[in-house]
Structure 1
C-alpha cells in the first residue's frame, strides 16, 4: 500500500513538474500573453560585454528603444558586432519564416538571443517581450544601475489576434500636457497596443492649432470665468472655480508626438468631432458655422446648448475642409475620426439654411440631412488622401460611404455585430467592457463616471470581441470629464489596459483570468510601479 502511494505521488510530481517549471519561467511575465512559447534549459546574461547585430534597418527602432533603457538603467549601451559573436542579440529580417504583419520569433539561448520579424512592429514587439522578461527595473527612469540582466532560455512565436488595438484619450474635456501624452503612448506600446485615438475637439475645448483659424485656440481652447465656453455642467470637471482652464497642442507639438509614437509602432488617429460636440468651434467662428436666423433651441445629453455645426451652410464645409487639410498634413495615418455621435434632438429644426438644403436635395428628414453631411465629408477626406472613422450613430441612416470606412460600436457589442452583418467595418469599443472612464466598482470614494456600469479589470478581461472579416479590432475609451489630473487618468487606465492588451492581442483559447491575474500580480504591476504609474491596486 505504501509503495502504491509512493508511486502515485511520484507520478503526480512527474506530471506537474512542467507546470512548476513554467510558473517560474520569465515567459510567465509577458503581457499580453504570447501565442506560443517553449521553455528551455539555461539562461542568457545581458551585460556590458554583450553585443548586437542587425541585418536590416527595420530593427532600428527596436534596437534604439532597448539601448535607451539600458543607458538609463544599466549605464551602458550595446555595441554592434558581427553576426557570429557570442553573448549577442541578433536581429534578422525573415519574411519567409514570419508570414504575418507585426509577428515575431524570439529565441533565447545561453549564448545568443535571436529575433526574427518581417516589419518594424514585429522587431519592436519582440524587444518589448524581451524587456518584460527582464527585471522590472529596466523600465525605471534612472536610479540605481543594474548591469547584469538574466533571461531564461525559451522560444516565443507571437502575433496579434487583431490589428487594431487602441485606446482613446480625451484631451478636450480636460487637457493633458505633451509630456503626459508621450508617457501614455509609451505605456501603450510596452503592451503592444498600437492605435492612439486622440480626441482633440469637443464642446469643452479645441486642442489643436489650426493656422487658418487662430480663434479656434485663442477662444475655443479656454473655458471658465470671462470666456465664451461654459465652465461645465459636470461638477467633477470644473476644478478650481476661479481659474480659467486652457491648453492646446501647437503643430510642432503634434509633429513631435507623431514621431515619438511612430518610433514605438503606434499610429495616431486624430478626432475632430462633428457636427455635434462642436461648441468650442461654434463660439470661435459662429458666422461660419451657424445660421444667424436659426431659432432652434436644444441641449445635448451633457446639457450643452447650441453646440452643432449647421450642415445647410456652405461655409461649414469650407471651414471643415480647411481644417481637414491641415490635420491631414500633420498626421500621416490614413484615417481621420469625424465623430458623428450624440447630435442633439432639435438641432437645425428651425434652421432656414437646413430647410433650403432639404428642399434642394430632396432630403425628407433630419436623418437624411446627417447622411448628406457625412457623405460630403467622406468625399472631402478622400480628396485629402484620408479615410473615415466615425462613431456608430453615423450608420443610422445608411449613408453612401466608402467600403474602407470604419465605425466604432460603443453602445453595445450587439450593435457592432449588427453593423458587421450589413458589411460595415467595425472596431469594438463597448461601454459595458471598455469605457475606462467608468468606475471600477460602485463606491463613492472611487474616481470615475457612474452613468454606465462599473468595469472591473476582470470584467474588461472577460470581453470576447468575436471573429469576423469586418471586425478590425478593439479599443478602450478614456473620456476625461472626471480626469482632473494625471493620477486619476493613470488610476482609471491601469491595470485595465493590461486586460485590454490581452483581449486585443492573444487568441481567445490562450486566455484565462487565472493566468492573467498571476502575471499581473507578478511582474505586471512591478513594471507599472517602476515607472511610478498611479495604478489601481489589484488583488
Structure 2
C-alpha cells in the first residue's frame, strides 16, 4: 500500500513538473509571415491554444471575424473555440479591443504566454490581425482534416502592422476561360490569407459575356457561348461556321454574383467588375449587332482576335442607352466604389468609316477618332458618377483626353500611371513587366504553355508601385498595385492556381510591406516555409522558383566554357552532373562555374535538407570550332535583346522557342553582320546559324544568309549562301537552322550576314512595321 501511495505521489509530482514546463521559445527563422509586417519584436516563450481558449470580442462585427478564425481550429483540431461577446479580459483568451486612433486596416497584435490581445480601429484591422495570428500558428492549422498531437503554439511577439497601399489587387480573366462560382470563392479564401483586398473580375471580352443582365438576356444566351476549339492553338482557331453550335463557356447569374460579393466582403475583399468598352466586345455585338457600326452579323470568337476592330458605335445614342442599362444592373450588384470600363486596345477603323461616328466628331467639335474615344469615356463617366461611383479604365483612356475624375490602371509599363498622377488622377499600377501572371515563371521547357514573356518570382518581388519620376505630392495618387492573370492559355482552375501562387505572395509583400522591411533573402526563406501551408490547403502552386538556371560564360585563364548555376530561392544546394545522368544528393555540389571542354549534357537539381525540391535542369552544350571564340558585331544587336552577353552566339547553347529565354540576340529592321575570330588557321566545311520565328511577336526568319571566310579578317571570300523561300507568315512559332556545307577550306575568320525581312509582311497585324530577327547560335565545323 505504501509503495502504491509513493508511486502515485511520484506521478502527481511529475505531472505538476510537466505542467509547469515553459512553452518553447521560437527563433525568428521559424516565423514565416507573408506579407512581412511593419514592426515585430520577438519575445521568449509562447502562448498555447487549448480547447478551453476563448475568443472575447466587443461587437457583432468582431464576432464574425472571431468565428471565422475559430472555424480554422474546428477543422484542424476538432475544437470548437468559444466566442464570447462582451466578456472580461483574462488569461487563456484572444481579446479583441477597439483602438479608435489607428489606420482602418492597421492592427496591433500582442502575444503573451498567458493571453493574446488584438487592437484595431476597424473590422478590417481585426481581420488582418487574425490572418497574421493564423500564420504564426503551426502550418497544420490549414488542414481540412483533424490533426493529432499538435501543440498549437504561437510565439510571444509584439506586432504593429499597417499596409503601405490601400489597393492590393488581383485580376482574374474569367472570359477567355470561364471559372464557376465555387472556384472564385476558393480564390477569395486564398487571397485573404495574403491580405489582398481587391478582386478585379474581367467579365467581358470578345470571347464571352460572363454576367447575367436581365434587360438584355441575349448577352448570356448568345454572348456567353462559343464553339469549342480547345484542341486548337489559341491564335489559330477558325471562325464559327454555319451549323456549328456554340457550347463552350458559361456565365454568372445575378444570384451567383451576390454570393461572390458577399463572401468577398466577409473576407474584406472588394470585387471590382470590368465591363469592357468600346472595344473587346464582339460577344456583345454577336447578341445585339445593332450597337455596332456595321450592323453585323457577328459570332463569338473561340480564340485570338487581332486587331480589335469590332467596336460599339460611338455615333449611335442607343449604344449609350444600352451601356447605361447594363451598368445600372452591374452597379446594383457590386457595391465597389470603382466600376472598370476597360478602354484598351480599341482599333478605330470602323469609326473612321462610320457615317454616324463621323457626324458625332463634327457635331462635338472633335479632331479625330482618338478624341471620339475620349468623348465616349467621358460620357460614360458622367453616368457612372451619377450613380455615386468612380470610373476606372486601362491606361488607353488617357488618349484623347482623360475623363475628369477617372482613375487609371496603368498596364503598358509605368508611363501611363506617371502621366495620370501628374495630371492629378489616382492610379493603380499594374505594369506587364512586373505583375502579368500569364507570363512564364520558369524555364519554358519545364512550364505549361503560356502567352510568352518571363516573370519569375524574384521580379514580381521587386515591384514598386511608386515610380521615381513622381514627387511626393504626385506619389500620393498611386493608390496601389495589382497582378493580372489573363487566361487565354489557362484553361483550368488548377492552372489558375499554378500561375498565381506563389507569385501572389511576392505581390502581396510589394503592396503591403514598406521598403524598409522588404528583403529578398528573407522572403526567399519565408516563402519556402509558406509553401507548406499551400500544400495543406491543396493549392496547386508552382515550384518554378526552385529551378536551376544555367548561364554560360568564358574562363579567360583556362580558355574554356564556364557555366554558372543558380536558383532563385536562397539557401538551397545545387547538385549537378555533366554526363547526362540524373543528379542525386551525392553528386557534385555546385560552388563555382562548371568548366566544359567537350560536348556535354549538364544536369542540375536544387536540394533542401538532402531532398530534391526542383525539377531537373538539362542543358546540352555542343562544342564546335566557334565555341567561346571572340565575336565582332559589325551591325550591333538591339539593346533590348542582348542574350547572355558577348558569347551568346558561340556559347554552345541553343535558344528555345521563347524569345526572352536569354539565349537570343535580336535585330529590329536591320541585318545581322558578325565576324568570328577562330584565333588560328582552322579547316572548316560547315556553318550553321540558328534562328527563330514567332509571327505573333513580330519575329520573322531571315530572308537570306551569306557565309564568308578570311585569313586576315579584312578580305573575305563568300563560300555559300542560303535563301529562305518560305512564306514569312507560315508557321506561327518555330526554330530553323540555316546550315550550309562547302568544300573544306582553311580560315582564321568566319563572317555571317543574315538579311532581315525588313518590314512585317502584308497580311500581318504589324504590316509595314519593323520586323524582328532573332539569332541564337553559330556553329562551325
Q: Same fold by TM (over 0.5)?
A: yes
Cα distance in 1 for residues equivalent to 2:365 and 2:245: 50
Which of 531, 547, 556 pairs up with 1:525?
531
1:215 touches 1:285 (CA, 8 Å); kept in 2? yes
Residue 432 (structure 2) pairs with residue 431 (structure 1): yes
Alignment of structure 1 residues 61-460 onto 2, 5 Å: 61-81=64-84, 82-96=87-101, 99-144=102-147, 148-224=151-227, 233-234=234-235, 244-292=247-295, 302-303=305-306, 306-402=309-405, 405-451=406-452, 453-460=453-460
User: 1:471 is matched with which residue: 478, 496, 503?
Assistant: 478
Q: Deviations over 1:505-530 (max 9, x none)?
A: 000111010000110111x1011111
CA-to-partner distance for each residue in 1:261-291, whole Å, 9 max, x for gaps? Answer: 0000000000001001001111100113444
SS in 1 for 2:496: helix
Change (3 A) 1:393 1:305: closer
- Could you tell me how far 1:440 is from its partner in structure 2? 0.8
Count of equivalent residues: 502
- Residue 356 (structure 1) shift: 1.4
Between 356-365 and 490-499, report the one with greater CA deviation: 356-365
Q: Matches of 1:189 and 1:268 in 2, distance apart?
A: 13
Q: Provide, for residues 364-403 of structure 1, a one-character-per-residue CA deviation record: whole Å limited to 9, x for no partner.
A: 200110111011000110122211110000012223422x
Conservation of the 8 A alpha-carbon contact between 2:63 and 2:83: no
1:484-523 correspondence runs (5 A)? 484-522=491-529
Q: Does structure 2 conserve the Cα–Cα contact (< 8 Å) formed by 1:279 and 1:306? A: no
- 1:45 is aligned to 48
Q: How many angstroms apart in 2 are the aligned matches of 1:140 and 1:179?
A: 19
Deviates more, 1:300-309 or 1:459-468: 300-309
| Runs of 4+ displaced beyond 4 Å | 145-148, 235-238
Q: Check whether the contact 2:498–2:541 (CA below 8 A) recurs between aligned residues.
A: yes
Q: Calculate the aligned-residue CA RMSD, in Å.
A: 2.4
> Any unmatched runs of 5+ in structure 2?
1-24, 298-302, 467-471, 547-781
Q: CA deviation at 1:150?
A: 0.7
| Greater Cα radius of gyration, structure 1 or 2 | 2
Q: Contact 1:290 / 1:309 at 8 angstroms: preserved in 2?
A: yes
The structural deviation recorded for 1:444 is 3.9
Which structure shows the bigger proportion of residues in helix conformation? 1
Unaligned 5+ residue runs, structure 1?
1-19, 295-299
CA offset at residue 80 of structure 1?
3.4
Query: Cα gap change, 1:515/1:141 in structure 2, threshold over 3 Å: closer, same or farther?
Result: same
2: CA distance, partners of 1:161 / 1:519: 20
| Contact 2:309–2:348, Cα closer than 8 Å, also in 1 | no
Aligned-partner SS, 1:29 = coil
2: distance between equivalents of 1:134 and 1:178? Answer: 30
The equivalent position to 2:36 in structure 1, one of 33, 36, 46, is 33
CA shift in 2, pair 1:145/1:181, >3 Å: farther
Higher mean displacement: 464-473 or 52-61: 52-61
The structure where strand makes up a greater share of residues is 2
Contact 1:58 1:123 in 2 (8 A): no
Deviation at 1:145, TM superposition (A): 5.1
Q: Give the deviation of 1:144 after TM superposition.
A: 3.6
* Contact 1:37 1:155 (C-alpha < 8 Å) held by counterparts: yes
Please list the CA deviations of residues 122-179 of structure 1 after superposition, one character each: whole Å capped at 9, or x if unmatched: 0000000000111112112234456641111001000000000000000001000111
Greater relative contact order (CA < 8 Å, ≥ 6 in sequence): 1
Q: What is the CA-CA distance between 1:242 and the residue it aligns to?
A: 9.5
8 Å contact from structure 2 (residues 279, 309) kept in 1? no
Deviations 1:161-206 (A, max 9, x none): 0000000000001000111111111111111000000000100000
For residues 94-113 of structure 1, the C-alpha deviation after alignment (integer angstroms, 9 at most, x for no partner) is 113xx212000000011111
Judged with a 3 Å threshold, the aligned counterparts in structure 2 of structure 1 residues 178 and 145 are, in CA distance, closer, same or farther, namely: farther
